[in-house]
Amino acid sequence: MQGIRVAAASDIDEGDAVTVDAAIAGTRDNIAVFHSDNGNFYALDDTCTHETASLADGWVEGTEVECPIHSAKFCLLTGKALCLPATRSMTTHRVEVRDGDLYLYPSVTADAQ
């Protein structure tokens, strides 16, 4: 599997995220691809497990993303819910930078890299 080209890695500013539509990813939820302020890229299902909100619209700091509605936080490495009101973890997806481009591997967990 070659992955889905998301964008040039340089097109996503640190602290920002883009979404890959579920129809393109072949998943039940859109996938948010984050460029953390630590310079790394991460991908999670986009919809917060607590309430219908796009995590791509949230705040990224280090290896965490904060939901823009009720401030639930998730680990970008593992998808684990880090605080209330979220109690369910997120699904992670593998991402890699190859030749300056960012590729997403939907449904391949991040730890399978």
DSSP of 27-85, one letter per residue? SSS-EEEEE-TTS-EEEEESB-SSSS-BGGGSEEETTEEE-TTT--EEETTT--B-STT
Domain-located, residue 112 = no
Domain-located, residue 113 = no
CATH code for the domain in which residue 18 is found = 2.102.10.10
Kindly report, residue by residue over 83-110, the tens digit of the pLDDT. 999 999 999 999 999 999 999 999 888 7
Domain-located, residue 87 = yes
How large is the average pLDDT for residues 68-82? 95
How large is the average pLDDT for residues 38-58? 94
* Predicted local confidence at residue 113, as pLDDT: 47
| Domain region containing 44 | 4-107
* Predicted local confidence at residue 1, as pLDDT: 64
d(CA 13, CA 16) in angstroms, rounded, equals: 5
Domain count, the chain: 1
Residue 72 has pLDDT above 90, yes or no: yes
